[in-house]
Amino acid sequence: MPARWKSNGPHVWERGAGQARRAGRAGKAKQTDERGFEVRSSRFSELRTPNPELRIAPVALGVPIARLRGIMSEQQGTQATRSLCDELQITAEELQSRLAFLSFDAQDGRNLVEIREVISSRIDEMIGAFYDHLLQFEELRGILSDPTLVERLKGSQRRYMLSLGQSADCVEYAEGRLRIGYTHERVGLKQKWYLGAYSKLFELIVRRLTTRYAGDAGRLSSLILTLNRILTLDEIFVVETYYQATMQRLEGSLEKLNEAHRQLIEISRLDPLTQVSNRRALLESLELELRRSHRYHHPFAFLFLDIDHFKEVNDRYGHAFGDKVLQRIVGVARGQVRPPDIIGRYGGEEFAIGLVECSQEGAVRIAERIRLRIAEASIQWEQNVASVTVSIGIAMLTPDVDRVETLMNRADRALYEAKAKGRNRVEVCTGASA
């Protein structure tokens, strides 16, 4: 793209030293910039702000009517603060580069003025022909069966066509075109329809240009080239933001899938009744902690907890009450351990607790607190009230223990010792044999 633009006539801006000035004026002719694009004063600045309804031009097809109505009505409020140009890094310089790549020059700017004049003079005829073409297809006839919606779509397309290429060198123009693609993707519009719509629109305009300039082949050729460039620019914007919106939607879906996968893994590792680790997850966590404790020479205590006479509780009060007892036991145990500690349901009424970086004295204190809290608690459900006790066996990790099973066997032996001594007790394994 040339850095400077010389005057190409009385209505063309001449750019120099970073400024633009008028090269001349002829009566009340429209002011144009160095590309021939129309220059409007600030009081018409609102014309550069894309009309929200332009975002579904040239036509929205393949979209459920109720959904399309909702999109059209909410666009202005929900998207007003979101800049797609910013997201796609389309600056004024980037837009200039895109125009240069399409070989836009001042002549194209002047051509666009003529193209819009031709469109304006035949706009109703072209829109009618456009919709006649759409209604040849069964899928589209069902979508376009609502007369009110069709009138809104026609109004949207009218504004799109009358603004074709107007201030195409401004980011506001790009923003409006980008929103077309964003909306198309959001409502699930099939690409075959909206890409085909650009081709049909090109054909309809070319036919009118051919009628107007039939005797001037050179002029007609120049106008058709310009029309192709501006529609290509618009189509690139639509495809680009459609892709961007698709990627954002897919990324969002991927995040949701990852979160769902994480939750499924978490659920698969939990005991559904007590919401602590199930047996498989418990053993995995204990194995990891055993290795870590050996590596860093940290103390580790393992507790086996069993509810005394739990079968009698189930037989007397029923399994539903028994479930409440299990949940209450877990609640008490959780209240006495730290976040890094491990707690899980080993099976039935047996629970296992791993106390990270905990000495034997500390483990005994924690076990006694758990035992006392449970013994002092009354468990009530419906008309039933009962109290239970627990027996706890403790085993400490020693250098000779390299398997979780060995540690568990030692704690299990201490647990049975507590049972043998009358239950509702805490015992520590003192022997080294498994």
Last residue of a domain, one of 230, 259, 288: 259
CB 352 within 8 A of CB 302: yes
Instruction: Give the 3-state secondary structure of the chain.
Output: CCCCECCCCCCCEEEECCEEEECCCCCCCCCECCCCCECCCHHHHHHHCCCHHHHHCCCCCCCCHHHHHHHHHHHHHHCCCCCHHHHCCCCHHHHHHHHHHCCCCHHHHHHHHHHHHHHHHCHHHHHHHHHHHHCCCHHHHHHCCCHHHHHHHHHHHHHHHHCCCCCCCCHHHHHHHHHHHHHHHHCCCCHHHHHHHHHHHHHHHHHHHHHHCCCCHHHHHHHHHHHHHHHHHHHHHHHHHHHHHHHHHHHHHHHHHHHHHHHHHHHHCECCCCCCECHHHHHHHHHHHHHHHHHHCCCEEEEEEEECCHHHHHHHHCHHHHHHHHHHHHHHHHCCCCCCCEEEEEECCEEEEEEECCCHHHHHHHHHHHHHHHHHCCEEECCEEECCCEEEEEEECCCCCCCHHHHHHHHHHHHHHHHHCCCCCEEECCCCCC
Domain that holds residue 394: 279-428
Q: Token pair of 90, please?
A: 């389309």
pLDDT of residue 123: 94
CA distance 402 to 374: 32
pLDDT of residue 41: 40
pLDDT of residue 255: 85
Question: Quick check: is 2 in a domain?
Answer: no
Last residue of a domain, one of 214, 231, 259: 259
pLDDT of residue 185: 65
CATH number at residue 143: 1.10.490.10
Question: Quick check: is 162 in a domain?
Answer: yes
Indicate whether 110 and 64 sit together in one domain: yes
Indicate whether 241 and 285 sit together in one domain: no
Indicate whether 53 and 87 sit together in one domain: yes
pTM of the model as a whole: 0.51
CB 169 within 8 A of CB 35: yes
pLDDT digit string (tens) for 135-157? 898 888 877 788 888 888 888 88
Indicate whether 249 and 305 sit together in one domain: no
Indicate whether 312 and 410 sit together in one domain: yes
Low-confidence ranges of the chain (pLDDT < 50): 1-28, 34-57, 59-69, 71, 74-80, 434
Question: Quick check: is 433 in a domain?
Answer: no
Indicate whether 188 and 85 sit together in one domain: yes
pLDDT of residue 416: 96
Question: Quick check: is 22 in a domain?
Answer: no
Give catalytic residues, as residue numbers. Answer: 349
Indicate whether 147 and 296 sit together in one domain: no
pLDDT digit string (tens) for 179-237? 777 666 666 667 777 778 888 999 999 999 999 999 999 999 999 999 999 999 888 88
CA distance 133 to 366: 81
Indicate whether 296 and 376 sit together in one domain: yes
Indicate whether 199 and 346 sit together in one domain: no
Indicate whether 302 and 254 sit together in one domain: no
- Total domains in the fold of the chain: 2
Q: How far is CA 213 from the centre of its chain?
A: 50
